[in-house]
Amino acid sequence: MVTKKLLSEGDRARQDDPVAVASRVADELISRLDGRGSALTADAATTAQLRSQVGRVIGRTFERLGIAPDDPLPTPPDFNVGETRARQNIHPADSLTAAKLLFDVALGAIALDHRTEAEIARALNASIMENVVPASVEYVNVLLERLAVAHSEERLSISRELHDRVAHSIAAGIQRVRIDQEHPEDSHTRIQEALLLFETALEETRALAMDLRHSVGDKGLEQAIEDYVSDLDADSPAAEARTAGRPRSLPAGVQEEAFIIVREAIHNARRHSGAAQVRVTSTWHPGGIVITVEDDGVGYDRDRIRPGALGLIAAQERAELIGADLDIQTQPDAGTTVTLTIAHPRESV
């Protein structure tokens, strides 16, 4: 159906002209993708990149078939497609859909008297794959880079907790003991203070160990969140977790990263918000899951970084890594709501 439409739009001479073919194929491909709501045609910049890639593919196809254009095709800008797509948060499924449609549309647009359709198809497929394979590697490299940053931020967060809270409490307790040794006449009070500091350090260590111990594993994401919340200590603020909708499976890597994001949001709410209540809600729907972490605390000014905000910055990196959206709504004296939205993986085409 597409083939007939394209062949009727130009005479025979235009069907073996790389420049004319590239223009018509790009127009048709962009129209089809736009009708599907593709991210590749979401704005002028990505559409221009797509048109450039079509020109590259058509040009290489004609080169493989031994035909040079009367007028040279514009040289595509030098950019790494996979890296660019990853940083634009464009899912690989969009690129795979575009590649499949490009093959179908271009095959119907190229007509050569001295080449069979099979020869044209082989040349076209090779030219498309010439772009797809390196782009896939570039995309993975960006994801690995984001993963390394996220893991680095997590290690930094643990290190900061150990230094600022655990080590500080231990050092202060040791100081009380040393003062007691120098001034034994008032030892009872200082011993009590030291014991309290050591107990605080112990509780902080246990809390860190619990954070590291909890993961999704064989459980579902919503069950892992509920287990984590139920294991939290009884100190204020109280925390509760609930699930709505019918849970569905997500890829293991997505679940683990999502759990870490939610855990960090809960940790920040309990540690820094001054809230009386923290509520975690996991809402499943046919398109995915929405997880909210709400507190009734003091909130904060988005233009100013509050304690613990660096953890949420790392959470943004993690959300991008798994193709999720992380939204933070807050204002002074009005609490904070962290919303993580995860779509079910799209099927490849």
Give residue-wise pLDDT tens across range 147-168: 666 666 666 666 666 666 666 6
The pLDDT score that the predictor gives to residue 283 is 95
The pLDDT score that the predictor gives to residue 155 is 63
Please identify every stretch of the chain with a pLDDT value under 70, giving residue numbers as ranges: 1-16, 68-83, 85-87, 89, 113, 133, 136-169, 176-191, 194, 200, 202-215, 234-236, 301-313, 345-349
Q: Residue 43: enclosing H or E segment and its boundaries?
A: none
As a whole number of angstroms, the distance between CA 140 and CA 85 comes to 11
pTM, rounded to two decimals: 0.49
As a whole number of angstroms, the distance between CA 86 and CA 320 comes to 9
| Pairing label, strands 277-285, 238-244 | parallel
Q: Which amino acid is at 336?
A: T
Q: Which amino acid is at 293?
A: V
Structural contact between residues 277 and 238, judged by C-beta atoms closer than 8 angstroms: yes
Place of tokens 């890597």: 253
The pLDDT score that the predictor gives to residue 1 is 40
The pLDDT score that the predictor gives to residue 72 is 56
Give the CATH number of domain 214-349; options: 1.10.3470.10, 1.10.760.10, 3.90.950.10, 3.30.565.10. 3.30.565.10
- Which of 317, 148, 328, 341 lies closest to 250 in space, CA to CA? 341
Place of tokens 């995860």: 342
As a whole number of angstroms, the distance between CA 207 and CA 198 comes to 14
Which of helix, strand or coil describes residue 99? helix
Structural contact between residues 54 and 103, judged by C-beta atoms closer than 8 angstroms: no
Q: Which two three-digit tokens encode residue 127? A: 């030219």
As a whole number of angstroms, the distance between CA 319 and CA 315 comes to 6
Q: Residue 333: enclosing H or E segment and its boundaries?
A: none
Q: Which residues are CB-neighbours of 332 under 8 A, at least 6 positions away?
A: 298, 299, 300, 301
Taking the domains of the chain in order of start, what are their residue ranges?
A: 2-143, 214-349
As a whole number of angstroms, the distance between CA 268 and CA 313 comes to 12
Q: Residue 32: enclosing H or E segment and its boundaries?
A: helix 18-35
Structural contact between residues 223 and 262, judged by C-beta atoms closer than 8 angstroms: no
Structural contact between residues 273 and 311, judged by C-beta atoms closer than 8 angstroms: no
As a whole number of angstroms, the distance between CA 59 and CA 22 comes to 8
As a whole number of angstroms, the distance between CA 252 and CA 46 comes to 31
